[in-house]
Copies of this chain bind each other. A is one copy, B any other.
Amino acid sequence: MSQPSAGTHPRSRVGARAGIRDVAAAAGVSITTVSDALNGKGRLPDATRSHVRAVAERLGYRPSAAARTLRTGKSGLIGLTVTTYGEEPFTFTEFAYFAEMARAATSAALDRGYALVILPATSRHSAFDIWSNVALDGTVVIDPSDQDPVVTELMRSGIPVVSDGRPAGSLPVTAWVDNDHEAAVCGLLDHFAESGARRIGLLTGTSTDTYTRLSTTAYLDWCERVGQDPVVESYPAHDPCAGAVAADRLLARPDRPDAVYGLFDPNGTDLLAAARRYGLRVPDDLLLVCCSESTVYASTEPPITTLSLKPGRIGNTVIDLLINAIEGTGRGGPVEQVMPTDLIVRTSSQRRPARTTVSPPRSPRADE
């Protein structure tokens, strides 16, 4: 007792943040009691519990996240990464799809007590290995590529990985969520046909990801089923101008289509501009649908029908599956979840704007 301010350990600094020891000393209880009181764990009378809480509040005590993570093995952090196309180092919010998906995922994670960490797709970004420098409970990967080394490494370390988009090849993931691209394309092409399209073209990037592959295959299958020759133009996806050129090329063909589906976000405006150049009226001479989450297509001239992949719903589902895997809530084994899409019918895909007595094409009901 003659020692100057010596507790169990002689290190209660004045300037430093209050630790659990300081709270214990100030409340006149042990460290165990403080921990139990704050976490609602042990068997303590309410009096002690509220007393400890009051003291902790008074001292402005904040538990050290690092110490808790080290002890419990759970950080409350979830990695989020987007596979980059082309050369751009970081295309995080390039497309409206990614932005909305990330927004929904962030919100859903926060609702369950987790926070998202934005990480690069490549393992070694600028000589640091960021991935092993942050303690992750799990990771969300948007559009993983074949044999993604980061995903492989994470899974090998026992960290759950849930991907948005079917994993290509034999990439092992804990679970994945994807749209039903076949159904989406078939429904959309049927919608074209109902509007009187005789020859439907496809505009797509030369990407090898599953979205492009599945959609293209579905288009070709549909063509074979109804007996139409495919009319496809593709372009290198990383070139920002190539899309406009390909749209032009598509409308310049001798077998010019009377309806076009654009697989990527900017295709809508590109196709609209190309149609204008060739003097084609939309929708009278050319029907148009584009896969996009952008709201600009509601106010183009004319408004363009879009296929929405519902990224918000995907983001929520991905986070739910991942947190279930982290907390062991869900059942084991890989989980695959296929989600419906939403065709937002606007002027550009309806030949006669509801002037006849014939029932107009039904738009799929929008749930949620």
What residues make up the interface of A, taking CB atoms closer than 8 Å to B? 17, 60, 62-70, 75-77, 89-90, 92-93, 99-100, 102-103, 106-107, 110-113, 115-120, 125-126, 128, 130, 132-135, 156-158, 269, 273, 296, 299, 301
Contact = CB atoms under 8 A, between A and B. Distances in A.
A92 B67 contact: no
Interface centre among A118, A132, A299 (most CB of B within 10 A): A118
A68 B93 CA distance: 31
Q: Is the interface of A mostly helix, strand, loop or mixed?
A: mixed
A131 to B, nearest CB: 9
A158 B92 CA distance: 30
B90 A132 contact: no
Contact of A132 (B62, B70, B299): B62
Given A17-B158, A93-B93, A157-B17, A76 B130 contact: yes
Given A90-B107, A106-B90, A126-B113, A66 B156 contact: no
Contacts of A68: 133
A273 B269 CA distance: 19
A135 B66 contact: yes
A112 B130 CA distance: 10
A269 B299 contact: yes
B135 A65 contact: yes
A342 B62 CA distance: 43
A74 to B, nearest CB: 10
